[in-house]
Amino acid sequence: MINFKRPLIAATLASVLAATAACGDSDAGTAGTVDVAAVDQAKAAVAQLLKNPTGIELTEPVSKRPPTGKLIAVPESPQPVTHVKNLGIVEAGKALGWRVQVIPEGTGPEDAGTAFDQALAMKPDAIVFSGTPVALLRAQLERAKAQGIPVLGESITDPVQPGIISTSLDSVPQVAQYGKMVGQYVAAHGGGKAHAAVFTISGYPILTTFTDNFKQALTSACASCKVTVVNQQISDLGTKTPQSVVSTIQRDPSVNWAIFSIGDLTLGVPAALRAAGLTGKVKIGGETPSPANIAALKAGTEEVWTGFAATVLGWRDVDMLVRHFNGDSLDTANKTLLPTQLITKDNVRSVPLDSGGYYVGYPGYADAFTKLWKIG
């Protein structure tokens, strides 16, 4: 991991085949094999990852006070957590005297491009997009480049290319860490018998990064453990996914963990499990918990989630634009990950949350950023 500054004792990761995001894709190692040393390493890593972060991780100040009066256009994908992240962009922009215009996207294949077209029509000083692969926005990105509008992409797997100033935030290194964290937790608590069904959306390639690294971390410590990947469509959230979870467990009663590559995918799942008489059959966890997942941890009905500091990510988006407008190097910002930790039913009441129940990461984030920007 790049510049993951909090203490972490990582489990040794063996080479395994990457999990493909297809319904029913399954992989298991040699039956009955558990690497005791690797499991002990996973337990040590988990112990460190339960601790609250002590800062925003980024410590390099900008070279000068940022300019004011900028207009930032933000196409918004339909996941609720993305809206929380974009509220962070709005909040950070307000601190700088910037205007931020959020443009909601639909769930259709053309909707991301349509929202980006609307952003271009505003003639903004910059555009921030998240989640959508660059291949689906090629024409819009070419127009942004021709118009001299800098674009920041985050939560994607694509590398930087002409016209895009950065794609590092919440990208492969960050999401790979989330996958390893949850994989280590399941290895440490699975008793050598974990069979995890991972529910993900292959339409967002960054989520496959979580799935692959979860699988690698788990099976490297526990070759007898098994991972089954169950792909969902963007439009399945809260509609078809609950029944998909039920059907997966009913088809294979050995499934004892349900892992989600984004917390919003659990919408409707607890009710579906109750209706099917499957409550308590699987331990539930994943990355990017929703407030419902946090509430379930408090109730003891879910097991583990990685903290996703969505609001801090929004501020980091703005920080990247500040550095670009100032002419500062983006190197350190590109290498610095978000504050995170494992959240379980045992530590959930002590982790930093906002008033809506979303994970914050570090409560003093606003003061930390304004200090770096020389406006605090």
- H/E stretch holding 298 reads helix 291-299
Q: How many helices (H) and strands (E) does the chain have?
A: 12, 12
Q: Angle at Cα 223 formed by Cα 218 and Cα 226, nearest 5°?
A: 65
In the predicted structure, residue 3 carries a pLDDT above the cut 60? no
Query: Which residue from 309, 286, 274 is spatially nearest to 55, judged by alpha carbons?
Result: 309
Instruction: Measure the CA–CA gap between 153 and 51, rounded to whole angstroms.
Output: 30
pTM of the model: 0.86
Instruction: Measure the CA–CA gap between 149 and 123, rounded to whole angstroms.
Output: 8
Q: Quick one: pLDDT at residue 340?
A: 97
> What's the pLDDT band for 206 if we cut at 50, 70, 90?
very high
pLDDT, tens digit (0-9, with 9 covering 90-100), for 45-87? 999 999 999 999 999 999 999 999 999 999 999 888 899 999 9
Q: Quick one: pLDDT at residue 237?
A: 86
In the predicted structure, residue 15 carries a pLDDT above the cut 50? no
User: Mean pLDDT throughout 285-296?
Assistant: 96
Q: Angle at Cα 317 formed by Cα 314 and Cα 318, nearest 5°?
A: 95
User: Mean pLDDT throughout 156-172?
Assistant: 95
- Give the position of tokens 């009955």: 32
List the 164-166 sheet strands across, edge first.
99-104, 71-76, 126-130, 151-154, 164-166
> What's the pLDDT band for 225 if we cut at 50, 70, 90?
very high
> What's the pLDDT band for 120 if we cut at 50, 70, 90?
very high
> What's the pLDDT band for 13 if we cut at 50, 70, 90?
very low
Q: Would you say how long the chain is, in residues?
A: 376
In the predicted structure, residue 30 carries a pLDDT above the cut 50? no
Amino acid in position 184: Q
User: Mean pLDDT throughout 106-135?
Assistant: 95
Amino acid in position 214: F
Query: Which residue from 120, 91, 58 is spatially nearest to 328, judged by alpha carbons?
Result: 58
pLDDT, tens digit (0-9, with 9 covering 90-100), for 244-274? 999 999 999 999 999 999 999 999 999 999 9
Q: Quick one: pLDDT at residue 105?
A: 93
Query: Going by C-beta distance under 8 Å and a sequence separation of 6 or more, which residues neighbour residue 277?
Result: none
Average pLDDT value for the chain: 91
Please, which residues bridge with residue 343 across strands?
A: 305
Q: Mark residue 138 as left, alpha or beta (left: phi above 0; alpha: psi -120 to 50; beta: remaining).
A: alpha
Amino acid in position 138: R
In the predicted structure, residue 94 carries a pLDDT above the cut 90? yes
